[in-house]
Amino acid sequence: MCPEPKVTQTRPELSFLRRCGLWLATWAVALIITVPNLKGVLLIWVFPFGLLRLLGWPSERYVVVFTVGWLPYVVLTVAALLTRRRSTYFVIYSILCALLVVNVVGCRMMFAELKDAH
């Protein structure tokens, strides 16, 4: 007789606490990498400018940039916090991470330009 194959159980759900923890940790890392000093924390509301700058949006259109820039992060956050499925969460989480990496690069470029201008 052949032994029955071992069935491993997968945990299809991710707890709300774990989802929030991963989300907050990711944002904290992005903030630490982006902000060159403590004064930079005051400019956190313009964080989306980094992503939109790389996409070529004009920074003169502050209201549009602010709204459009934060919208993907709000949508991703709501979707990630509402989903319980582990696989769905990590797809959304991966999208967030990719957006944050691009955004951080754009922000660092803007900070470098501001530093060179002074």
pLDDT tens digits for 3-52? 666 655 666 788 999 999 999 999 999 988 888 777 777 777 778 888 77
Quote the pLDDT of residue 19.
Answer: 93
Quote the pLDDT of residue 20.
Answer: 94
pLDDT surpassing 70 at residue 99: yes
Average pLDDT of the residues in 89-106:
93
Contact 89, 80 (CB under 8 A): yes
Any domain includes 65:
yes
Quote the pLDDT of residue 23.
Answer: 95
Mean pLDDT for all residues in the chain: 83
Average pLDDT of the residues in 58-68:
70
Any domain includes 8:
no
Any domain includes 1:
no
CA within 13 Å, CB half, 37: 4
Q: pTM of this prediction? A: 0.78
**Tokens read off for 93:** 């989480």
Any domain includes 9:
no
| Distance, CA of 42 to CA of 68 (rounded, Å) | 20
Domain boundaries, position 53: 16-117
Q: What is the DSSP string of 4-53?
A: PPPPPPP--B--HHHHHHHHHHHHHHHHHHH-SSGGGGGGGGGTTHHHHH
Scan for tokens 């459009």, then name that residue.
Answer: 68
Number of structural domains found in the chain: 1
